[in-house]
Chains A and B, each alone.
Chain A
Amino acid sequence: MVSTAAKKNLSQNEQRAMSDEVRIGVYVCHCGSNIAGTIDVVALTAYAKSLPGVEVAREYKYLCSDVGKELIREDVKSHRLTRVVVASCSPLLHEETFRRVVAEAGLNPFCFQMVNIREHASWVHVHEKDKALAKAKDLVRAAVLRVAAHEPLVKKRIPVNPDVLVVGGGIAGIQAALTLANAGKHVYLVERDPSIGGHMAKFDKTFPTLDCAACILMPKMGAVGAHPNITLWSYSEVAQVDGYVGNYKVTVKRKPRYVIEDLCIGCLQCIDKCIYKDMRFPNEFDLGLGKRKPVYVPFPQAVPMKVVIDPETCIRLKTGKCKETCVEACGPKAIAFDQKEEFKEIEVGTIIIATGFKTFDPTKVAYYGYKRYPNVVTGLEVERLLNAAGPTGGELVLKDGRKPKSVGIIHCVGSRDKRYNAYCSRVCCMYSLKLAHLMKEKVDADVYNFYIDLRAFGKGYEEFYSRVLQEGVHLIRGNVGEVTDVALTPDEEGRLIIRVEDTLVGVVRRIPVDLVILAVGLEAQADAQEVRRMFNITCSQEGFFMERHPKLAPVSTFTDGVFLAGCCQGPKDIPDAVAQAGAAASEALALIDQGEIEVEANFAYVDEDLCSGCKACISLCPYTAITFDEEKKRAVINEVLCKGCGVCVAACPSSAIGQHLFEDAQILGEITGLFTNGAKAEE
């Protein structure tokens, strides 16, 4: 069953293939000694020659070589072959190679079948040569009987929308957006918070250069805000994703700021004149350590520099009654209390997901005293305390206002621990060393770092570690057992005592400190599961989004057209996040610049005459490729979304669904070939 559209594009050779004339060429590869060392390739070839429909059978040392390929091409032409079988290595390696060879010879590339007699016969039966040969014969016979039933197929080409959606405005999202925008593509950058910048905007200094995070990030943020090719939608979330690679239809929910973005000039007069004279509500950007008013900007260098009004704390929004001094103060008349959330529909060809991470909540680790003792803080909280734009103006102070004279930094909180997260969060050793350095610099405190292993793997990292050692930071190898306020000696009174086994010395120690910093690990965002379902991608056991291959395909996913960048794929430092973002952007560009993409030919199709409209197939499709045509009352399969898994084919109670390259006749031919020794094709 070949669609008429496909038939029209066939060459004469291909049309010949559709005819009853089956003229098969079988090629057995020695693969050096990989196959020939175990299997008698000459005998196998002779056997192949004896099979029904086989016009020519040859063996050659390396079929994938130029000579080997030419051999096949020549035969197709001179012997007018209509089918080709290659018995060699895995199709994952060379199916495309030989399909191309066949096409170059003028034959439809799908009138070809590859048999793996290396991994499936030679390599696994190295010590059973006779059995290996017998198995290879079975496999070749199956391929011959299958390929006889093959039909020419055409790979469809679909256009790719050049616009890109980047989800998440942290450093990874920003980098990806800039790379694409600079390449001339139009980018929608959607960020959930009122400003872009992500976690990096919260840091004070970055390791190992000790660059001020804001100083290196702001230029990029500014570039995003000003770039003509970037549509920045902050305070927005992706609500729904439909479509397929090259043709995604995305609905973006723009949350109400109660401020008209186009009119707000960021003068901040509304904040100044708000009826709340003082800042009294916890500021999300400062992790609750700082305060803000109901009308606010998250931080002084926010991009976009537009005000947000929080409906939970703004009196006007909660009660409807307020003097509205902010409205009075606003020159451009940008405040709009009746603003509603808005849904925007956009069309893009590719999507890059850069939704970042969250830090591990150490409240779970009860014996470290987080939330029990006021002077136990997380690494991220300390970044805000150290930051000059933070809640304490960059003064590192304890809860009672004193400067700490000694600090303990506990590594691996929540990481490398079967009870919480078994993996290593990669950046904590380095940020702990950075914090140690900053402690020494800011308050000249006695600093103790408690580590299990010191991971300083990147460029300049080991050197930074040496520097910190020179500065006199005490590094103690031991997994901290407890942070307690129970003092056993006078000098422990009023301080936090860290109890740890110093494993290099072999002694259990009590170290009194004023401030305890927990180097919390990185985790997937809280809503990672919902997000991944929306984009139809997979995730690992830890919750991070899954790349297509851990080594060779680190930015693409199993859903074509959706790419990953940054910590949403796994914990990493800023250089790696930026590099990955560039990689994701370039993969998106590769798709876009081709203009079109080829769709795999082995998709399923519905025979309308047989389909009863029972809809059994629709919910079974893991790729949501099947829809129901209400007018015709028939199931319709989207050829592009279909991955050819075959579930619907098997499930259809009316046998109305077929699958290209896996038609019943083809599969039955293969089965017949495997199980009937020497049977003719007609039987």
Chain B
Amino acid sequence: MRIFEELGLKLTELDDWNCCGATLCAGVSKISSFALTARNLALAEKNYAGKDIVAPCSACYLAFIKTKDYMQRYPDVKQKVDTALAAIDLQCQGKARVRHPLEVIVTDVGLEEIEARVKKRLTGFKVAPYYGCQTTRPYAEFDHPFFPDSMDKLLRVLGAEVIDYPLKTKCCGGAITSMVEEVGLRLNYILVHEAHKRGANAISTSCPLCQFNLDVYQKKTIKEYDLDFSIPILYFTQLLGLALGIGAKELGFGRVMVPVKPLLATVE
């Protein structure tokens, strides 16, 4: 939110928003997932009419888009969700536009404007751009489904070196890591190992769940796979904020698990 403020975009938190269930809920009960998401959509339409919804988490972002799509394409889904919402006096018309903050920044502000505002170039950063599997799939709303580059371009404009990272849309495991740990750790290993191999000293994500996975579980991944390195995992707005001159503490750098001091040192 600090970033959006800095860039002059007005962001209001949706009052009384509920968890959308993300991919977990959709796996258990599709209709529940749609209904939960539709409630957020309905609230937005009712109380913030005409405004775009920005979903910083790719899982939520996908849930929103999918709910809107399914309600429009499948009448029986619409009917069930309408019934559920009617019980709490709400109605989802599917009018609110749903956007990812990465797209909002790149489209509404633009790379040129961002470049002009950069105060501290991230020259020491060699970043692997990691979009996760839900930002551009299955709905490629604003970028290529397998090889997107909007975040790549943004990072370059901030002065960072962006490495060629073919795993940029591969799954990190998401919520599975908390349930079937060895699967999640293996997926994490593949991602961090390849990034490190290609010379990255940081991974930039566009999904907080990916960040959580790769960051919080990295210690376990290192232990399990006997790795001799660690690599900081950051949400892209943290890097953007750094470049705009905002303090690291304010950007939450103190709260990431993987040590970031050496990396931050290169900024000054």
Contacts and interface: CB of A to CB of B under 8 A. Distances in A.
Interface of A: 366-367, 372, 484-486, 488
Interface in B147-166: 147, 166
A330 to B, nearest CB: 50
Contacts of A367: 146
Contacts of A488: 190
B71 interface: no
Nearest to A366: B146
B38 interface: no
Name which of A367, A372, A486 has the most chain B CB atoms within 10 A of its CB.
Answer: A486
Contacts of B144: 366
Secondary structure of the B side of the interface? loop
B194 interface: yes
Nearest to A485: B166
Contacts of A486: 166-167, 190, 194
Closest 4 A-B residue pairs measured CB to CB? A366-B146, A367-B146, A486-B194, A366-B147
Nearest to A365: B146
Contacts of B166: 372, 484-486
B29 to A, nearest CB: 28
Nearest to A488: B190
A426 B147 CA distance: 31
A160 B167 CA distance: 65
Nearest to B170: A486
Nearest to B194: A486
Nearest to B164: A372
B173 to A, nearest CB: 16
B231 to A, nearest CB: 16
Categorize the interface residue count of chain B: under 10
A86 B144 CA distance: 65
Contacts of B147: 366
A78 B194 CA distance: 98
Interface in B14-48: none
Secondary structure of the A side of the interface? loop
B156 to A, nearest CB: 19
Given A484-B166, A486-B166, 11 more contacts: A366-B144, A366-B145, A366-B146, A366-B147, A367-B146, A372-B166, A485-B166, A486-B167, A486-B190, A486-B194, A488-B190
Contacts of A484: 166
B114 to A, nearest CB: 27
Contacts of B145: 366
A450 to B, nearest CB: 19
A488 B197 CA distance: 11
Nearest to B189: A488
Interface in B167-188: 167
Nearest to B165: A486
A367 B170 CA distance: 12
A366 B168 CA distance: 13
A366 B149 CA distance: 13
Nearest to B167: A486
13 contacts: A366-B144, A366-B145, A366-B146, A366-B147, A367-B146, A372-B166, A484-B166, A485-B166, A486-B166, A486-B167, A486-B190, A486-B194, A488-B190
B7 to A, nearest CB: 31
A367 B168 CA distance: 12
A611 B167 CA distance: 72
A367 B167 CA distance: 11
Nearest to B193: A488
Contacts of B146: 366-367
A482 to B, nearest CB: 9
Contacts of A485: 166
A23 B194 CA distance: 94
Contacts of B167: 486
Contacts of A372: 166
Nearest to B144: A366
A217 to B, nearest CB: 40
Contacts of A366: 144-147
A366 B137 CA distance: 14
Contacts of B190: 486, 488
Contacts of B194: 486
A488 B167 CA distance: 12
Name which of B147, B166, B167 has the most chain A CB atoms within 10 A of its CB.
Answer: B166
A372 B146 CA distance: 13
A488 B191 CA distance: 11
Nearest to B147: A366
A545 B136 CA distance: 37
A181 B146 CA distance: 54
A498 to B, nearest CB: 14
A372 B145 CA distance: 16
A488 B187 CA distance: 11
A484 B167 CA distance: 9
A372 B147 CA distance: 11
A484 B164 CA distance: 13
B182 to A, nearest CB: 15
A485 B167 CA distance: 10
A372 to B, nearest CB: 8
A541 B111 CA distance: 41
A496 to B, nearest CB: 11
B125 to A, nearest CB: 22
A138 B146 CA distance: 65
A631 B194 CA distance: 80
B139 to A, nearest CB: 14
B212 to A, nearest CB: 23
A600 B167 CA distance: 66
A372 B144 CA distance: 15
A440 B194 CA distance: 33
A372 B166 CA distance: 10
A486 B145 CA distance: 18
B244 to A, nearest CB: 33
A488 B146 CA distance: 20
A372 B194 CA distance: 17
Interface string B187-209: 00010001000000000000000
B170 to A, nearest CB: 9
A484 B166 CA distance: 8
A485 B197 CA distance: 12
A278 to B, nearest CB: 32
A253 B161 CA distance: 53
B143 to A, nearest CB: 12
B144 to A, nearest CB: 7
B164 to A, nearest CB: 9
